[in-house]
């Protein structure tokens, strides 16, 4: 089972690197990448929710480091590696908490998925990343927050739909068990 999780994590890392570094729209603000629009964090979120929060954190963190070396943008900042790791780990942690506390059986599965995805996106995209961009580069939050809010309104339902579809296939393929 660990070998399968490691293989899936490697796949999610590779997908995240490609989607983030080579298939995203990057918008510079004040000479710094202020906004990135794409599906780059989706594989890490999926890793966290399907395989567990640690795998999501590892997937996001390693994708950020590998992506930096393949397509560097300025100097390396570990702050953003932490953010990428949390983007993968937090949804997995919320999803795991739902299952461990028994809430999972009392709410519809799609609500659980939306809340798990929203926890990661809102914490990282609305909290940590703007904080780091503001403190490290002096970018005003008033400039970087509106597009992030709009992006989240689109990303949360879109990511949730994709994760629900992939999760259903994953569960059917692997013994009909709930993803761990």
Instruction: Kindly state whether residue 180 falls inside one of the protein's structural domains.
Output: no
Instruction: Kindly state whether residue 179 falls inside one of the protein's structural domains.
Output: no
Range of the domain at 78: 2-173
- pLDDT, the chain, mean: 88
Instruction: Kindly state whether residue 178 falls inside one of the protein's structural domains.
Output: no
Helix intervals (H) in the chain: 2-17, 42-51, 53-70, 78-101, 109-123, 129-137, 141-173
Residue with tokens 């390396």: 76
Instruction: Kindly state whether residue 43 falls inside one of the protein's structural domains.
Output: yes
Residue 101: which CATH number?
1.10.1760.20
Task: Check if the beta carbon of residue 104 is closer than 8 Å to that of residue 157.
Answer: no
Tell me: the pLDDT tens digits for 108-119?
999 999 999 999
* Tally of domains in the chain: 1
Tell me: the pLDDT tens digits for 38-74?
789 999 999 999 999 999 999 999 999 999 998 877 7
Q: 0.95 exceeded by the pTM?
A: no
What is the mean pLDDT of the segment spanning 138-145? 88
């Amino acid at each position: 089972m660990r070998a399968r999780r490691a293989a899936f994590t490697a796949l999610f890392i590779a997908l995240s690197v490609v989607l983030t570094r080579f298939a995203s729209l990057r918008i510079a603000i004040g000479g710094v990448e202020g906004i990135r629009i794409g599906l780059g964090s989706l594989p890490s979120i999926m890793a966290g929710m399907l395989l567990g929060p640690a795998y999501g954190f590892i997937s996001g963190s390693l994708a950020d480091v590998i992506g930096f070396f393949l397509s560097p943008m300025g100097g390396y900042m570990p702050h953003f590696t932490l953010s990428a790791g949390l983007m993968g780990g937090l949804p997995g942690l919320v999803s795991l908490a739902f299952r461990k506390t028994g809430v999972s059986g009392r709410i519809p599965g799609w609500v659980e998925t939306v809340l798990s995805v929203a926890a990661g996106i809102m914490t990282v995209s609305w909290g940590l990343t703007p904080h780091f961009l503001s403190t490290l580069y002096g970018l005003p939050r008033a400039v970087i927050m509106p597009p992030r809010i709009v992006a989240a309104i689109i990303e949360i339902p879109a990511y949730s739909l994709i994760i629900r579809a992939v999760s259903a296939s994953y569960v059917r393929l692997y013994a009909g068990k709930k993803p761990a």
